[in-house]
């Protein structure tokens, strides 16, 4: 059974750096073709892809957020970490992680998500 | 960057068919995924490769993709189908992920 869980701070002050961890089980990020993505959703708004890391350390970033994001993996711990710098209130939302390449051609299953609020 | 356009809302009576569109430049050349998101829950894949269903998704869910429009069709809609639906592709130029703006399906 594949499961993912996001963890990190629930409240962050503007200009601070956010670090989120996705801890997963049921698959390995050392398997060819497998990747893990971070996707966020502001309250009441649409999904927005942030970043994606593959088994071979190849990374992809949302072009508009590229300068603020870093994605990394720790294969031995089954974790993927997303770092986002210089947070602002518009970054408030639920942050999800989801795998690619472990099932049907898409993202899934998704983690439950973690709500991050950016406020002073 | 590549843009996917969905209608904000679609309303349909129970038992009827719902058609949710996803527009994009030459999207017919791409493989489209569709996700369902019930309120307060994480999204879940309901269609991939433009029309294939993951295990557990009923045959009522089908898809098509041609030219500049992909369509998710839900036949015999029921109250439990009321949710937000998102289309998604991998942008061929850089393997970037693109989501549509989402469509809220309301069952009247």
Mind listing the pLDDT tens digit for each residue in A36-77?
A: 999 999 999 999 999 999 999 999 999 999 999 999 999 999
On whether any CB of chain B is under 8 Å from the CB of A107, the answer is yes
- Least confident range from A61-65, A101-105, B78-82, B83-87: namely A101-105
pLDDT of residue A104: 82
Report the C-alpha gap between A56 and B58 in whole angstroms. Answer: 35
pLDDT digits (tens, 9 = 90+) for B12-38: 999 999 999 999 999 999 999 999 999
On whether any CB of chain B is under 8 Å from the CB of A69, the answer is no
pLDDT of residue B94: 65
On whether any CB of chain B is under 8 Å from the CB of A109, the answer is yes
Which DSSP state fits B48?
Answer: B
| Beta strands B103-107 and B9-12, pairing class | parallel
What is the count of residue pairs from A and B with beta carbons less than 8 Å apart? 68
Looking at chain B, the whole-number percentage of residues with pLDDT higher than 70 is: 99
Across residues A13-21, what is the average pLDDT? 98
Cβ-nearest to B43 among A47, A48, A103: A47
pLDDT of residue B93: 72
**Among A110, A46, A97, A52, which Cα is nearest to B86's?**
A46
Residues paired with residue A18 on neighbouring β-strands, in sequence order: A84
| List of chain A residues whose C-beta atoms are within 8 Å of the C-beta of residue B101 | 46
């Amino acid at each position: 059974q594949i499961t993912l869980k996001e963890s990190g701070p629930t409240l962050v002050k503007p200009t601070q750096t956010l670090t989120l961890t996705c801890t997963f089980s049921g698959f390995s990020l050392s398997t060819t073709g497998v990747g893990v993505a971070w996707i966020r959703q502001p309250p009441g708004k649409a999904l927005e892809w942030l970043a994606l890391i593959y088994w071979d350390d190849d990374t992809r970033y949302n072009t508009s957020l590229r300068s603020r994001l870093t994605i990394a993996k720790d294969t031995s711990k089954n974790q993927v970490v997303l770092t986002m710098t210089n947070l602002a209130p518009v970054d408030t939302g639920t942050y999800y992680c989801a795998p690619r390449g472990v099932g049907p051609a898409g993202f899934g299953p998704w983690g439950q998500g973690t709500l991050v609020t950016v406020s002073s | 960057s590549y843009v996917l356009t969905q209608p904000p809302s679609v309303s349909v009576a129970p038992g009827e068919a719902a058609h949710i569109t996803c527009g994009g430049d030459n999207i017919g050349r791409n493989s489209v995924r569709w996700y369902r998101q019930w309120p307060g829950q994480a999204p879940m894949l309901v269609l991939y490769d433009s029309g294939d269903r993951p295990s557990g998704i009923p045959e009522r869910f089908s898809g098509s993709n041609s030219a500049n429009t992909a369509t998710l069709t839900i036949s015999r809609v029921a109250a439990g189908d009321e949710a937000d639906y998102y289309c998604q592709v991998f942008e061929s130029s850089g393997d970037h992920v693109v989501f549509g703006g989402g469509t809220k399906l309301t069952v009247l």
